[in-house]
Amino acid sequence: MTKIELQINGKLVCFESESRTHLGDFLRETMNLTGTHLGCEHGVCGACTVEINGAPARSCIQFAASCAGYEIRTIEDFGDDEVMMQLRDAFSKEHALQCGFCTPGMLITARDIVLRLSELTSPDDEARIRNELSGNLCRCTGYQGIVQAIQSVLRLRAMKVKNDH
């Protein structure tokens, strides 16, 4: 057992856990934050993607005990987040989900794309968005709706920036 002290969704958490417990299991089973989904558990499918220290990361191949002192944000913490609200609306409008299993990870990755690559507003940028999205697997949608949703948020935000000036 290892003592873990880390910040989860803005709260300092102190817990005892087995060293081998990965962060995804810790979030779901100890913290009851079941919005983070576990698919492949070896870093390929992207369903477990959360934000660690401000950047998206796989929670299934990180051990919770190695995350001492880190700040973790799961999908549950983005209720009032501006970009996430825009993405949720766009995902709904563009039919970017069906079963919803990949959606928490998709949204974390989509938010990173929107904030880090805000210049991808041209229709020609679709390939790059698909490339950036390649680490999150969706077996329902065929990705078209997800890509359109992300593109619409990128355009919406670019428009807002333009209008604000």
Nearest-angstrom CA–CA distance, 131 and 128: 5
- By CB under 8 A, residue 8 contacts another protein: no
| 77 is a contact residue toward another protein (CB under 8 A) | no
How many residues of this chain interact with another protein, rule: CB under 8 A? 32
Q: Backbone phi, then psi, for 142, in 5-degree steps?
A: 75, 10
Q: Which of 8, 9, 25, 31 binds another protein (CB under 8 A)?
A: 25
Residue with tokens 């709260």: 11
Residue 128 has a CB neighbour count (10 Å cut-off) of: 14
Q: How far is it, in rounded angstroms, from Cα 134 to Cα 106?
A: 10
Q: Does 84 bind another protein (CB under 8 A)?
A: no
113, 71 Cβ separation under 8 angstroms: no
Q: Which stretch binds another protein (CB under 8 A): 6-14, 72-80, 131-139, 141-149?
A: 131-139
Q: Is there binding between residue 104 and another protein (CB under 8 A)?
A: no
Query: Where on the chain is the footprint of another protein (CB under 8 A)?
Result: 2, 18-20, 22, 25, 40-43, 46, 49, 52, 55-58, 60-63, 65-66, 68, 109, 112, 130-132, 134-136
